């Protein structure tokens, strides 16, 4: 099963992709996570990406395409994968098409107001990436993750100003991919405004339909 999670930042792509990947033992490939790790490790890729990410802009296509091509060539991707945060531009989608056919694209549809609320209240564990939310799923008072003990922090790009810019970038560069995949007959639109469990059940229905065929 080769699946893409498409949608604006904060629509729940990471949360849903991680559950599905764990359940079916296929890798979740999050370009955002790979880039954040590179920034943290101060690699050449991280130095290229840091300022762009902090501003909520997109890392250049050639950098991302090379990164994803290399990741998809690894042996754990042979049985399939879930792409989370890639592709984000038409050039990225076209390059992926040349590499491999995608079975399904899940488009998570969420209202802007909900997105801004979710992202500005989101917190992340620096160790294992577990997501918390100060309003709905608060982190422990110690400020340490209850899974791995890592430091819990707010991403630089989750400030309201940067979130608004990320949304502008999304509507300009990434939203056109919805019709791109619709035209190819692989798009599944899911209402992501609902509780996580309901969204998860709808995604599982799509996944099961494809993994059985
Ligand atoms: P995310 O965690 O998916 O919200 O990504 C965080 C940031 O990483 C984005 O705001 C971009 O700066 C960068 N990024 C992640 N994926 C991509 C991509 N496919 N193309 C360009 N930039 C990306």
Residue 24's domain is classified under what CATH number? 3.40.50.300
For residue 47, tell me if it sits in a domain.
yes
Q: Name residues whose C-beta falls within 8 Å of residue 98's C-beta, 6 or more positions apart in sequence.
A: none
Catalytic residue among 126, 155, 178, 194, which?
155
What is the pLDDT at residue 140?
97
- CA–CA distance, 39 with 110 (Å, rounded to integer): 29
Domain span including residue 54: 2-110+173-211
Is residue 115 included in any domain, yes or no? Answer: no
Whole-structure pTM value: 0.90
Instruction: Kindly give, in sequence order, each residue whose CB lies less than 8 Å from that of residue 78, ignoring residues fewer than 6 positions away.
Output: none
Residue 121 lies in a domain: no
Cβ(181) – ligand 1 distance below 6 Å: no
- Count of structural domains within the chain: 1
- Evaluate whether residue 203 is within a structural domain: yes
Contact 66, 29 (CB under 8 A): no
Nearest to 125 by CA among 147, 99, 156, 141: 147
**Residue 137: inside a domain:** no
- Residue-wise pLDDT tens digits, 36-75: 999 999 999 999 999 999 999 999 999 999 999 999 999 9
Average pLDDT score over residue span 106-123: 95
Residue 70 belongs to a domain = yes
Q: Tell me whether residue 23 is one of the annotated catalytic residues.
A: no
Extract the tokens encoding 15.
């949360």
Residue 87 resides in a domain: yes
Asked whether the predicted pLDDT for residue 213 surpasses 70, the reply is: no
> Does 86 sit in the ligand 1 pocket, CB within 6 Å?
yes
Predicted confidence at residue 212, as pLDDT, reads 52
């Amino acid at each position: 099963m080769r699946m893409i999670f498409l949608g604006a930042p904060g629509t729940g792509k990471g949360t849903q992709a991680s559950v599905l990947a764990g359940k079916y033992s296929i890798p979740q490939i999050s370009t955002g996570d790979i880039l954040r790790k590179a920034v943290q490790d101060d690699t050449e890729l991280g130095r290229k990406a840091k300022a762009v990410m902090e501003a909520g802009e997109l890392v250049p296509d050639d950098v991302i395409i090379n990164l994803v091509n290399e990741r998809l060539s690894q042996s754990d991707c042979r049985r399939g994968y879930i792409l989370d945060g890639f592709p984000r531009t038409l050039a990225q989608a076209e390059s992926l098409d040349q590499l491999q056919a995608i079975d399904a694209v899940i488009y998570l549809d969420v209202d802007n107001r909900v997105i801004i609320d979710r992202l500005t209240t989101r917190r992340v564990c620096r160790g294992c990436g577990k997501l918390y939310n100060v309003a709905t799923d608060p982190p422990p008072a110690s400020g340490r993750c209850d899974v791995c003990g890592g430091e819990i922090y707010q991403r630089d790009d989750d400030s309201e100003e940067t979130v608004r810019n990320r949304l502008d970038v999304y509507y300009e560069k990434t939203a056109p991919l919805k019709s791109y995949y619709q035209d190819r007959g692989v798009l599944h639109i899911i209402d992501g405004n609902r509780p996580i469990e309901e969204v998860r059940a709808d995604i599982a229905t799509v996944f099961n339909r494809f993994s059985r065929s």
